[in-house]
Amino acid sequence: MPTVIEQQNICAVRIFERDWLINLILFGNYHRLGNSVLAELGAPLRHRTLQIACVYGDLTLRLRAALAPDARLEVVDILPIQLQNLRSKLPADERVTLVRDDAASLAATTDFLSLDLITGKGEITQLTA
Position 40 scores a pLDDT of 86
Q: Look up the pTM and report it.
A: 0.79
Compute CA distances 111 → 70, 105, 106, 114, 129, whole Å. Answer: 16, 14, 11, 9, 9
- Multiple choice CATH, 4-128, 3.40.50, 2.60.40, 3.40.1710, 3.30.70: 3.40.50
Are 37 and 13 in contact by the 8 Å Cβ rule? The answer is no
Q: Per-10-residue mean pLDDT for the chain, 129 residues long?
A: 76 87 92 90 88 90 96 92 95 95 70 57 59
Rounded Cα distance, 32 and 34, in Å: 5
> Domain locations in the chain?
4-128
Residues with Cβ within 8 Å of residue 55, at least 6 apart in sequence:
120
One-letter identity of residue 88: S
DSSP class of residue 89? Answer: H
